[in-house]
Amino acid sequence: MGKTEETKLVEMLRDESQRRKAFSILVKDYSEGLYWQIRKMVLSHDDANDILQNTFLKSWSNLNQFRGDSKISTWLYRIAINETYTFLNKERQKNMIGITDLEDTMAQNLQGDPFFDGDEAAKKLQRAILTLPEKQRLVFNMKYYDDLKYEEISEIVGTSVGALKASYHYAVQKIEAFMAMDL
Amino acid sequence: MKKEKINEIGNRTIFKVPEHYFEDFAASMEKQIDAFEENKTQLSKASITANKHPMMHLRPILYVAAMFILMVFSIGLVLNYTSGRSSELKTEEISAEKIPTAEDYLISSVGTYGITQYYVENQTND
């Protein structure tokens, strides 16, 4: 979405008579991008679908709080990331009674997932990514899979470009070390 | 498994979605927003109806009145307790029954044995 289009959309969202129509455009334009970002964090389609719905419901109910300081896409990505973190924390708390980590469970679930289309190497890469802390995992996904610019990632996650570069570098090192292990 | 560099694996999307997922998602989101708005309207209507009840306007006054009554009752209770205690003490102090008489004093200082001895000696002398 271009800058002019985004400005127009924001104006429509502020106008109560056009808000509903503008939000439909917002859902159509951003649901796919947001979905993939969430999916790469939670891996399961059903969980990603639930988080995406919550993201849009939250953004609809908090539309008045969008001041226009950042791009609407950045605002949506932030909500999606927060919803993802909230989901993962809840799952981790539920998983505390079990003997396996949430990340182990998530990796195991990939085995029988009908919506996972990766080979053994891709599965191992997913397991390696799951060993990273959540924020580092997010940065890695944004850079490795989506090839986003560090400036764009910085705007979304609120971390300096330098720190992001270092985080990505360490993430790659950790993942390569994991991939080198015979598991 | 052979050692692989992550660049060799590639970054293609390895996840799939059900067919027409994104089209269906947009339609389902429309319905959810409708339901959300309807729910919000019903809630605000219910809140307005609740606030329209005549007693709802009196609620703050009733709270203050209840607090005032409770405060007066508590103060009364405390005062009553302290004054009761002090009057009890005063009664104990001035009670005529408790003041020892000269007879009590003599009995306590001489003792029953001494009095008996005194009478026996008097009888013998007579």
Q: Say whether pLDDT at B105 is over 90.
A: no
Q: List the Cα angle A25/A31/A36 in 5-degree steps.
A: 160
Q: Do A23 and B32 touch (CB under 8 A)?
A: no
Q: Nearest chain A Cα to B34, which residue?
A: A20
The partner residue sitting opposite A145, judged by closest CB among B3, B11, B33, is B11
Residue A145 has a CB neighbour count (10 Å cut-off) of 16
Tens digits of per-residue pLDDT, B39-97?
A: 888 887 777 666 666 667 777 788 888 999 999 988 888 888 777 666 666 655 555 55
For residue A129, the chain B residue with the least C-alpha distance is B6
Q: Which residue in A30, A10, A31, A35 sits closest to A22, CA to CA?
A: A10
Closest Cβ–Cβ partner in B18, B30, B32 for A24 = B30
pLDDT, average across residues A149-166: 95
* Cα B89 to Cα B63, B97, B101, distances in angstroms: 39, 15, 21
Q: pLDDT tens for residues A41-97?
A: 999 999 999 999 999 999 999 998 888 778 899 999 999 999 999 999 999 888 776
A16-30, A135-149, B33-47: least confident range: B33-47
Alpha-carbon distance A147 to nearest alpha carbon in chain B (angstroms) = 9
Q: Rounded CA gap, B15 and A113, in Å?
A: 9
* Cα A121-A164-A135 angle, rounded to 5 deg: 65
CB-CB neighbors (< 8 A) of B18 in chain A:
45, 115
Highest mean pLDDT (candidates A22-26, A178-182, B72-76): A22-26
Give yes or no for a contact between A150 and A164, defined as CB atoms under 8 angstroms apart: yes
pLDDT higher than threshold 50 for residue B1: no
Note the ipTM here.
Answer: 0.82
